[in-house]
Amino acid sequence: MMSTTDIIDTLAGIEPGSPLDAIRARRLQARDNAQKSYLALFEPIDAVEFSLVERAAVAAFVTGLHGESPVAAFYREKLAAGAAALVEAVNAEIAQGKTTGPYGAFPPGPLSAEDETGLIYRVGADRKPALGARLAAALEHAHLLVFRPRDAASADMKALRSAGWSDTGIVTLSQLIAFLSFQLRVVSGLRTLRAASA
């Protein structure tokens, strides 16, 4: 059953009729499109290429990397509801993957002066059996896109394919990670506005 409540409003604590509700109503198309993106990614008609549990695990991981927030708590609860056994492993991977960024290397040239080294995250060997090859590869790819997007290369796609990801699944995984980055920033901004107006 598809959700009808706007997820960003829920996570930002926006009440119907509130000043923030009025602000969001001014950008109705953006509001609607964000909700449609959430539904397409987390309540899809077809989840064969990227299961709902995998989506929840990646979401819990990505949002957890950004620190504790209502968004991280929401996706952690979503994962617990679908696969409670994965929560501990994902939490451990969040702790192992926490860093700052973005960082990485530019192609040789003027931008090389901005190259910055940082953590190259890999799933802990002791947690790979609990996560499975597909999810372990997805978490590594998510970390790459969050912290080292400029380092993404064709070898990273091959690693996902080797773990059992289809091209469609890889595209959806990348879309989900991008959506989460957007959602985190929007919710954080709206909650800051709400706190300032209280």
What's the CA gap between 192 and 83, in Å, rounded?
Answer: 32
Parse the chain into domains and list their residue ranges: 7-192
- The model carries a pTM of 0.92
Amino acid identity of 197? S
Cα 60-128-79 angle, rounded to 5 deg: 25
Q: pLDDT of the chain along its 198 residues, tens only?
A: 455 689 999 999 998 898 888 888 898 999 999 999 999 999 999 999 999 999 999 999 999 999 999 999 999 999 999 999 999 999 999 999 999 888 888 888 888 888 888 889 999 999 999 999 999 999 999 999 999 998 888 899 999 999 999 999 999 999 999 999 999 999 999 988 888 876
63 in Cβ contact with 75 (< 8 Å):
yes
CATH architecture of 7-192: Up-down Bundle (1.20)
CA distances from 185 to 12, 56, 83, 172 (A): 11, 19, 27, 20
User: Distance between CA 128 and CA 27 in Å, rounded?
Assistant: 43
- Helices assigned H by DSSP within 18-127: 19-25, 28-42, 52-65, 70-97
